[in-house]
Amino acid sequence: MSIYKKVLAADFSRLHPMLQKRYAFEESVFRASGTMNRITGGPKWLFPLFLWGARRKFVFPESGTAISFTIVNSSFVSLAGNEEIHWERKFSFPNKTRYFNALMSLDEKQMVVKDYLGEPPLFYSDLGFTVEDGGALKIESLDQRLVLGKIEISLPKFLQGLATVVESYDERSEVFRITVDVKNPLIGTVCSYEGEFTEDA
């Protein structure tokens, strides 16, 4: 049983059937491609921080419209015997390719998804999963930590990037739709994007 089925428990059956298929991971790899209609970065004075993050396949400074996008989710069993899901999100800007990668696993005691962002990881967040009316999946960040090698430092709320992700399936257009907003209590939007994608044949 996938980590997403475990964390949602009975609510998993409320997801749209296409989202159930996507997050059940009966196949070990999910590949899809599409277009991000809009990508918005944070304030320009954070450019050095975004550039540093881009080197670790985390945040990036670019913005744009109609940006080609691919996603690869790979499920595997770690050496400790736990299921982990690797997320590779690739954004193909006209003159640069950027990534937003992560590694997720399940904390079965707290029943939250553990999300390590970047390669090697720079940032950690607990994730809460809920199902919205209409079968959309909503993901929200909870407690967060800065990752410095083997050291993890808890972040106060005013330093956190609080993410809200909504993924749905549009039956009329036969596409997955995604909206992502990451905000900080002090500076506002850190990054956001929205678009659509279809599973590769």
Residues 91-108: tens digit of each pLDDT: 999 999 999 999 999 999
How far from 171 is each of 18, 26, 200, CA to CA, in Å?
9, 22, 17
Helix (H) or strand (E) holding 100: none
Per-residue pLDDT tens over the stretch 122-180? 999 999 999 999 999 999 999 999 999 999 999 999 999 999 999 999 999 999 999 99
Please list, in sequence order, all residues whose beta carbon lies within 8 angstroms of the beta carbon of residue 170, skipping any fewer than 6 positions away.
176, 177, 196
- Domain borders along the chain are 3-199
64-75, pLDDT tens digit by residue?
Answer: 999 999 999 999
Q: Quick one: 171 exposed, middle or buried, by C-beta within 10 A (0-12, 13-18, 19+)?
A: exposed
- Which of 35-39, 46-50, 95-99, 102-106 shows the lowest mean pLDDT across its residues? 46-50
When pLDDT is cut at 50, 70 and 90, the band that residue 80 belongs to is confident
* pLDDT for res 91: 98
pTM of this prediction? 0.94
- Residue 42's pLDDT is 84
Mean pLDDT of the chain: 95
pLDDT given at position 44: 87
Q: Which CATH class is domain 3-199?
A: mainly beta
